[in-house]
Amino acid sequence: MNGLYEQLCRELRGRVLRDEPMSRHTTWRVGGPTDLFIEPADGEDLAVALRLLTTARCPWLTIGAGSNLLVRDGGIRGAVLHPTRLRRLEIGNGGGVRVGAGLPLMTLIRATVARGLAGLEGLAGIPGTVGGGVVMNAGAGGQQLADVVESAILLGPQGPEVWSRERLDFAYRASAVSAGQVVGEATLRLRPEDPRRLAEAFSGRMAARAAAQRVGGPNAGSVFKNPPGVSAWRLIDEAGLRGAVEGGAQVAERHSNFIVNRHGACAGDILRLIDRIREEVRRQSGVALETEIRIVGEDR
């Protein structure tokens, strides 16, 4: 890993770190160190990083804001790519948008709402990036990215590749983009709408979120997907688990599909709570809950 680290430092213009704690890059504020943490300066830099990692047979994982990510306490063997500087934003008059994966979703939403373009205002308040949003098909308020994404540019050691929305194969909080692939950019199609109405919808969503999601500590939003026809939070509630505690992790009192890092939790605490919820909900209601959050890395 030493030789690769030195080569990356020599050839990249961006930031390269060793043994970087992932707790600094996840909204849960937990996660052990990654061997290498790479923040490319731009798309070209990212392509160089991918080439060097591929040649060295070093596995990698791409992350955005870490707002849907649980990194285990042993951390990540290999590299984490953080394309946070890919922030291009071009908004065309006809509603076409080209946007870099590292741009915060909220920056994109504010900009498109201000231009009177509809299609994203329901997602106001989601703390992720455009890249993470595409991969997860982020959604809220009756909208999801799948409704507006036309294509995405995936970057690889062989160069960029355009993936159509058909190939992206969006589903509920999922897409065909797998671990190790890198979304560099997305092209969206939004529709013109009265800017005043859009601004009201945006503020309404932000207010509703502030009320429902003030949960009292670092979290990663909804932990479980909603099974068909029922809300995960209701099943967790009915299983008597609202407020349940494992170490420093707690099922939020305010929203039982959220787990909060209350008192210096580690990933192990959160994982134990997730297992307990799944077991108890399955025992009491027969439903197998599936996680919405992505779990990566190694146990300590």
Ligand X SMILES: Cc1cc2nc3c(=O)[nH]c(=O)nc-3n(C[C@H](O)[C@H](O)[C@H](O)COP(=O)(O)OP(=O)(O)OC[C@H]3O[C@@H](n4cnc5c(N)ncnc54)[C@H](O)[C@@H]3O)c2cc1C
Q: What CA–CA distances, in Å, run from 112 to 104, 109, 209, 220?
A: 13, 5, 20, 25
Name the DSSP class of 291. Answer: B
Contact segment (CB under 6 A) with ligand X among 8-16, 34-42, 111-119, 127-135 equals 127-135
Give whichever of 62 and 112 is closer to ligand X, judged by the CB atom.
62
Which member of 23, 151, 175, 222 is catalytic?
Answer: 222
Which member of 29, 72, 173, 262 is catalytic?
Answer: 173
Given 12, 30, 135, 259, the residue binding ligand X (CB under 6 A) = 135
174 exposure class (CB count in 10 Å sphere: 0-12, 13-18, 19+): middle
**What is the C-alpha to C-alpha distance for residues 31 and 283, in angstroms, rounded to an integer?**
30
The least distance separating ligand X from the CB of residue 79, rounded to whole angstroms, comes to 12
Pick from 33, 34, 31, 37: which is nearest to 73 by CA?
Answer: 31
Q: Any contact of residue 107 with ligand X (CB under 6 A)?
A: no
Q: Any contact of residue 27 with ligand X (CB under 6 A)?
A: yes
**What is the C-alpha to C-alpha distance for residues 31 and 25, in angstroms, rounded to an integer?**
9
The least distance separating ligand X from the CB of residue 45, rounded to whole angstroms, comes to 14
The least distance separating ligand X from the CB of residue 130, rounded to whole angstroms, comes to 8
Q: Any contact of residue 66 with ligand X (CB under 6 A)?
A: yes
Residues 224-263 that bind ligand X (CB under 6 A): none
The least distance separating ligand X from the CB of residue 283, rounded to whole angstroms, comes to 27
Binding mask 167-186 for ligand X (x = CB under 6 A): ------x---x-x-xxx---
Distance between start and end Cα atoms, the chain? 20
Cβ contacts of residue 218 below 8 Å, gap of 6+? 27, 28, 29, 260, 261
**What is the C-alpha to C-alpha distance for residues 73 and 277, in angstroms, rounded to an integer?**
20
Given 99, 120, 138, 271, the residue binding ligand X (CB under 6 A) = 138
State the maximum Cα–Cα separation within the chain, in Å, rounded to a whole number.
57
> Active-site residue 203, yes or no?
no
CB 5 within 8 A of CB 16: yes
* Strand 294-296 versus strand 69-71 pairing type: parallel
Q: Any contact of residue 126 with ligand X (CB under 6 A)?
A: yes
Give whichever of 72 and 173 is closer to ligand X, judged by the CB atom.
173
> Active-site residue 290, yes or no?
no
> Active-site residue 173, yes or no?
yes
Where does this chain bind ligand X (CB under 6 A)?
27, 61-69, 83, 101, 126-129, 131-133, 135-136, 138-140, 173, 177, 179, 181-183, 213, 219-221, 294
Residue positions annotated with a catalytic role = 173, 222, 292
